[in-house]
């Protein structure tokens, strides 16, 4: 096929279907269906819309669809104005109807991949999406999985289902994996300017999926297979969980030795090479870091390999909420108070600063532990006015003197920007700081640091 523009991969000469599909993509006539309109799917849908594509946004959550139709965003990184414009122009069609898959030239899966209680991968959302696709699949479609999963999912789980109706990958349709790289709340990197990995089941699948994505994303990184692409994502987050686990263990060690771990890190990072800063905290949260490495560890065990670094790091990080509990207990004991019956105020319940995302947040476990110990727990989070998940059903407190003065202990779990922490310290009997957000503040008797 002739070279149409710089950076466009050369496609097979004589392959009519591939040529026709690439022409649709380059002319923006290709229609895209995105299954799952969460933190990954919705920003991706709008990235394609902004480049002139029409997108079917498919989600089983009717509440999400209703919000989108009303031009209301439920994700902090996505302005409602962008949704309103896309809805008015009819370039984004939110729907619960999977039948729209048959109208699409590209189908992208962005569904959750949680863990079972047994700490094994739960790919049921992927399986469900693939079954819907199988029902409406047709020739000349690109299907891409973005949901993070273990190496082999695209080839071993998706491919057999999609080919069971008689169509063949690489001949009738194209299948690839492109791991999401979303970082909620990141003001610098977004869907468009974050380099994107792509790996297909076949070479043609890699090339045509790359061509699709590069219409909306600045930099594409093709790799040799879907398995490599799946492994890339797991490497990225395993790297993080292992290093976070290491610094959390060092923090526990420094605590026993009477050494300030934050001062140690600040000094170490002055080295201009060979050191990368990681920081301790109350635990790890979000979908990626606490979950993705477990997918890799599980897959390794299936191959008879023990992922010792991953398992140890996960164990250390999972103990951090209990360490925070110990600090709260110690602080109260020093005031001749017990945890039972004490009023504990949690500051920040999202898994990271400046987002409204609760996925795997360590605050939830801290709240659960405190409640089981008999504490009277309340919380304040500027991004989450209500907290109803699992056995926790709380309404957020107001940020005022009464809230803090009526509490026996305030615990900073998530260090949201824009919070007046000097006000917190001034009006609280005890403040347990798990994020070192009070670093610049002169040491006071009511501040307890991890």
* Dist CA 421 CA 415 (whole Å): 9
* Dist CA 82 CA 84 (whole Å): 5
Q: What SS3 class is residue 60?
A: coil
Contacts of residue 266, Cβ cutoff 8 Å, sequence gap at least 6: none
Q: What angle do CA 295, 234, 359 make, to 5 degrees?
A: 65
Contacts of residue 359, Cβ cutoff 8 Å, sequence gap at least 6: 285, 286, 287, 351
**Catalytically annotated residue among 110, 254, 288, 409:** 288
* Dist CA 191 CA 79 (whole Å): 14
Beta partners for residue 20, in sequence order: none
* Dist CA 68 CA 218 (whole Å): 26
Q: Which of 63, 60, 68 is nearest to 35 (CA)?
A: 60
Q: Longest C-alpha distance within the chain, in Å? A: 82
Between the two ends of the chain, the Cα-to-Cα distance in Å is 61
Orientation angle between helical segments 16-26 and 203-213, nearest 10 degrees:
10
Is 110 a known active-site residue? Answer: no
User: 81-102 burial by CB neighbour count: b if 16+ within 10 A, else e?
Assistant: ebbebbbeeebbbbbeebebbe
- β-pairing, 409-412 vs 392-395, is unpaired
Q: Which of 320, 357, 356, 353 is nearest to 437 (CA)?
A: 353
Instruction: In the chain, count H helices and then E strands.
Output: 16, 15
CB 367 within 8 A of CB 339: no
Instruction: Indicate the helix (H) or strand (E) that contains 168.
Output: none
CB 126 within 8 A of CB 143: no
Q: How many residues does the chain have?
A: 450
Instruction: Indicate the helix (H) or strand (E) that contains 254.
Output: helix 226-257
CB 148 within 8 A of CB 292: yes
Cα distances (angstroms) measured from residue 440 to each of 158, 251, 383, 389, 421: 52, 19, 25, 34, 11
Q: Which residues have a catalytic role annotated? A: 288
């Amino acid at each position: 096929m002739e070279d149409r523009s710089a950076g466009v991969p050369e496609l097979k000469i004589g392959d009519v279907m591939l040529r026709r599909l690439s022409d649709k993509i380059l002319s923006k006539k290709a229609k895209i269906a995105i299954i799952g309109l969460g933190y990954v799917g919705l920003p991706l849908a709008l990235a394609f819309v902004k480049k002139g594509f029409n997108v079917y946004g498919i989600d089983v959550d009717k509440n999400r669809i209703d919000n989108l139709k009303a031009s209301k965003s439920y994700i902090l990184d996505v302005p409602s104005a962008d949704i309103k414009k896309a809805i008015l122009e009819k370039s984004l069609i939110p729907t619960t109807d999977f039948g729209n898959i048959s109208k699409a030239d590209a189908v992208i899966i962005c569904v959750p991949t949680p863990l079972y209680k047994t700490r094994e991968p739960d790919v049921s959302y992927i399986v469900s999406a693939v079954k819907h696709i199988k029902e409406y699949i047709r020739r000349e479609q690109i299907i891409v999985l973005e949901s993070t999963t273990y190496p082999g999912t695209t080839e071993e789980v998706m491919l057999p289902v999609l080919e069971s109706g008689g169509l063949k990958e690489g001949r009738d349709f194209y299948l690839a994996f492109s791991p999401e790289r979303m970082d909620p709340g990141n003001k610098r990197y977004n869907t468009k300017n974050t380099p994107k990995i792509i790996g297909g089941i076949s070479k043609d699948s890699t090339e045509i999926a790359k061509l699709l994505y590069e219409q909306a994303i600045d930099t594409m990184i093709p790799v040799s297979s879907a398995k490599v692409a799946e492994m890339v994502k797991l490497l990225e987050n395993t790297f993080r969980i292992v290093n976070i686990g290491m610094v959390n263990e060092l923090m526990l060690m420094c605590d026993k030795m009477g050494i300030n771990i934050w001062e140690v890190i600040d000094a170490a990072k002055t080295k201009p090479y060979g050191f990368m800063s990681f920081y301790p905290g109350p635990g790890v949260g979000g979908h990626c870091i606490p979950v993705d490495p477990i997918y890799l560890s599980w897959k390794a065990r299936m191959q008879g390999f023990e992922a010792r670094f991953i398992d140890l790091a996960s164990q250390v990080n999972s103990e951090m909420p209990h360490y925070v509990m110990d600090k709260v207990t110690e602080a109260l004991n020093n005031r001749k108070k017990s945890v039972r019956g004490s009023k504990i105020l949690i500051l920040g319940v999202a898994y990271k600063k400046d987002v409204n995302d609760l996925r795997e947040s360590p605050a939830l476990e801290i709240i659960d532990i405190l409640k089981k110990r008999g504490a009277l727990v309340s919380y304040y989070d500027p991004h989450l006015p209500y907290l109803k998940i699992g056995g926790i059903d709380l309404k957020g407190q107001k940020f005022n003197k009464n809230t803090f003065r009526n509490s026996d202990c305030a615990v900073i779990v998530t260090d949201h920007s824009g919070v007046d922490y000097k006000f917190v310290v001034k009006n609280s009997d005890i403040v347990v700081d798990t994020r070192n957000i009070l670093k610049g503040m002169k040491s006071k008797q009511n501040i307890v640091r991890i």
